Amino acid sequence: MAAQHAVEINTQQLESLCINTIRTLSMDAVQQANSGHPGTPMAMAPVVYTLWQNFLRFDPEDPIWPNRDRFVLSIGHASMLLYSILHLTGVKAVDPDYETLGELSVKLEDIKRFRQLDSKCPGHPEYRWTSGVETTTGPLGQGVATSVGMAISSRWLSSYFNRPGFEMFNFNVYALCGDGDMMEGISGEAASLAGHLRLSNLCWIYDNNHITIEGNTALAFDEDVATRFQGYGWNVTRVGDANDVELLTRALTSARSTNDRPTLIIVDSHIAYGAPNKQDTSAAHGEPLGEDEIRLAKRNYGWPENAKFYVPDGVREHFQHGIGRRGRKLRDEWMGTFERYKKQYPDLAAQMDQIQRRALPAGWDKNLPTFPADPKGVAGREASAKVQNVLAKNIPWLVGGAADLAPSTKTRLTFDGAGDFEPGSYEGRNLHFGIREHAMGAVLNGMSLSKVRPYGSGFLIFSDYSRPAIRLAAIMEIPVIYIFTHDSIGVGEDGPTHQPIEQLASLRAIPNLITLRPGDANEVVEAWKLIIQLRHAPAVLVLSRQNIPTLDRTKYASAAGVTKGAYVLADAKGGAPEIILMATGSEVPLAVDAYEKLSSEGIRARVVSMPSWEIFEKQPQEYRDSVLPPQVRKRISVEQASTFGWAQYVGSDGDKIGMKTFGASAPLKELQKKFGFTPDRLVACAHELLGK
């Protein structure tokens, strides 16, 4: 008994040593950077220790093992909490080709250079920059919402790949969040969806410390969070003291054994430093403690007061005997199961490999439609629906849905077996996000981070509601697909509130986001082919509600030019062009009509279809000059949207036909006349520029 008691005491001492190492590394890093948030890492260190050491199914030697549990630090400002645990558990670095490197993901030198240029410890965790960071979490609420997408993916992957005796996917998702996450509306959207879907593989741990930047949360936030989440259909449990490892263990065990709903663990914490009962809101949100306060805190921990970035003997070894040993065993068992799986289910195993590498299966582009010339044409959304259904049949992990608008965006997969992803029935390919555009964007990010290929759809005007998540997808370089229809004043009678004006320009302004606005049905096909091959960039496909004439490709250039971002659709007859007409989307046929009139008058005009500025800008200068010759300075752009940005292509000698106001409620033809989107207006503008 005496020996057993000694072991228990030693374990408790090691636990305390590890927890205080997380705390002191966080304090020292923030102090040295003279920037950051030490309070939450100090308060939540016992929580992260308990989760990682005793529960998380994660192999530090292989941080991209497909069936690992995911940990999301939604309170991204507490990044030192994550960097400390990544360092102490010995998580290895992974390069962009998914080859594990021998070095640590977070070295002690990186922690010493917290928030400094090129450190692996930036101010907020960044995916693809620091291995072990599962998602970029900057704006509050994004992390928890993204975690819902990860949990959805776990359920879908298990439904698709698991077979009797082969549980290839069953990973759990844990997210650490705070008061700020709870206040942001996106967390409510995401929690409501997770509760509806009964995602029992999802656990949020809520740091209930009552502190935000302005002070106590009572200034603006006093709702009963527990009751709110019970209303969402969650299992809710409470830990009254963040330092109570035993109670934390019990709560996490309860979460893992709950099989019919997600779990919220409310953890009450108090940000206390050197002086007893001292609480400092500034340290919780953006200021170092100061050397004197750090010494007091270290004294309370029994720490060498003047030692900085100190990792005591036994700490790293303790983690290796906990998460290190457990994670390696679980990963090795999974790899052994996968070897047997490959022999029994070779096709599924090949697909699993393709998913992890973001590769496409052989024959992904078979049976894609081509559209015959038709002056009546087809709506962009209708053409897209045909293409999307073919691609989804060819690519089994193309999964997605709409923010309650699938009948309008035409994004429902309709082939046999597509099915719906619903509570308790997770094999379906059609997701129903409800009227939750912001959460939908973040959920898509979580799905993409879990390597399925997700898409989400809505009206272009509501891209504003999704924008923060779209921006994060671009930062993370993940290939999420956004399908936005009702792309212009062509919405018609719904009026200015539903007619997008500035949205195209704002999306084009996001670095690493590919925006495509195809000009007819065959350009839609080519746009989808381009998008589906992207591996490191999200894409927005912008489609019309109304019919657009399908151009005669025997008369005009092939729609394959879409792959270049912009191309010469119709060229001048009898010599170099005098004027260039540039257009996107539904305005491309309009430019073609104007081109035919100008050509009949003997004016040498060129039509350039420009579905994607971003792709065009990546082309060699020689190609760009061949499409838009610098010497041809008379140019007109036409687009039923804000003219912002077109100046780079039109130049000082050209003109822009677009929207300078919001739209109006009226039938489409009346709107086109009112705002000047007619062939006659383009012809008149060309005459004016040419002085003819």
Q: Are 417 and 361 in contact (CB under 8 A)?
A: no
Q: How many CA atoms lie within 13 A of 530 on its CB side?
A: 28
* Gap between the Cα atoms of 441 and 473, Å rounded: 9
* Gap between the Cα atoms of 452 and 455, Å rounded: 10
Read off the DSSP letter of residue 163: B
Structure tokens at 596: 């035919």
In order of 124, 173, 202, 359, the CA distances from 154 in angstroms are 25, 9, 10, 19
**Length of the chain in residues, anyone?**
692
Q: Are 70 and 148 in contact (CB under 8 A)?
A: no
Instruction: Give the CA angle between residues 141, 143, 145 to the nearest 5°.
Output: 70
Kindly give, in sequence order, each residue whose CB lies less than 8 Å from that of residue 673, ignoring residues fewer than 6 positions away.
none
Q: Which helix (H) or strand (E) holds 265?
A: strand 263-268
Q: Are 19 and 45 in contact (CB under 8 A)?
A: yes
* Gap between the Cα atoms of 20 and 14, Å rounded: 10
Sign of the torsion formed by the C-alpha atoms of 112, 117, 121 and 122: positive
Q: What distance separates the 2 farthest-apart alpha carbons in the chain?
A: 104
The pairing of beta strand 202-208 with beta strand 100-104: unpaired
- Active-site residue flag, 437: yes
DSSP annotation string for 583-610: E-TTHHHHHHHHHHHHHHTT--EEEEE-
Residue type, 223: E
Q: Are 214 and 441 in contact (CB under 8 A)?
A: no
Place of tokens 């069953």: 170
In order of 95, 571, 593, 596, 690, the CA distances from 601 in angstroms are 59, 15, 13, 9, 13
Kindly give, in sequence order, each residue whose CB lies less than 8 Å from that of residue 302, ignoring residues fewer than 6 positions away.
20
Torsions phi, psi of 100, nearest 5?
A: -65, 130
Of 189, 437, 523, 614, the catalytic one is: 437
Three-state DSSP at 481 gives: strand
Q: Are 445 and 477 in contact (CB under 8 A)?
A: no
Torsions phi, psi of 92, nearest 5?
A: -90, 155
Q: How many CA atoms lie within 13 A of 576 on its CB side?
A: 9
* Gap between the Cα atoms of 50 and 242, Å rounded: 10
CA 611 vs. chain centroid, Å, equals 23
* Gap between the Cα atoms of 599 and 577, Å rounded: 11
In order of 466, 500, 502, 591, the CA distances from 644 in angstroms are 21, 13, 8, 19
Q: How many CA atoms lie within 13 A of 586 on its CB side?
A: 28
Sign of the torsion formed by the C-alpha atoms of 627, 559, 506 and 503: positive
Q: Are 280 and 286 in contact (CB under 8 A)?
A: no
Q: Are 463 and 492 in contact (CB under 8 A)?
A: no
CA 476 vs. chain centroid, Å, equals 7
Which residues form the catalytic set? 437
